[in-house]
Amino acid sequence: MTRALDYLFALLGLVFLSPIILIVLVLGYFDTGSPVFVQKRVGKNKKPFKLVKFRTMAVGTQSVASHLASTSSITPLGRFLRKTKIDELPQLINVVKGEMSLVGPRPNLFNQDELIAARDAKGIYDVLPGITGLAQVNHIDMSTPELLAQTDRKMIDSLSLKALFLVHH
């Protein structure tokens, strides 16, 4: 049921948000010459998948976790895309493909050894990664691996369709 809802909402999101996506593609082309950014991330069962985002940093920027990246590499358009979270919209494609869920632990890079160990110990990789989750809502990033893994586990243990509907009613 969750997969069907993810698919439906992601597909609807791509359709309804397509004007914004097209505008960002055009602006991104003028900003960096390469508006889409694809990066290998850790997926369910630690299988790699290619995460799709709008590019927010200069082409050629080192592939590291956001909290470790130089802010001077972020383009002016990239700053806006990050602030508004519009840079995440292409991940709806990952959701449609079944590589991600709308809600789940944010997928990390394969070079984040400490985070991988903390998440592995808590069974975080048993579920699909998500576009957003409890950690993001609480501003917990990948710079605190143990806290992030604990928060991810708490979300996984408490997340259900019933819980989602109770929150909205």
Q: Residues 6 or more apart from 127 whose CB is under 8 A from it?
A: 44, 101, 104, 105, 156
Residue given tokens 């609480």 in the structure block:
138
Query: Which stretches of the chain are DSSP H helices?
Result: 2-16, 18-32, 76-84, 91-96, 113-121, 134-137, 145-158, 161-168
Q: Provide the whole-model pTM.
A: 0.87
Q: Range of 107's domain?
A: 2-168
pLDDT tens readout for residues 104-141: 999 999 999 999 999 999 999 999 999 999 998 888 98
Strand partners, 39: 51
Is 130:101 a contact under the CB 8 Å cutoff?
Answer: yes
pLDDT tens readout for residues 135-165: 988 889 888 999 999 999 999 998 755 554 5
Q: How many domains does the chain have?
A: 1
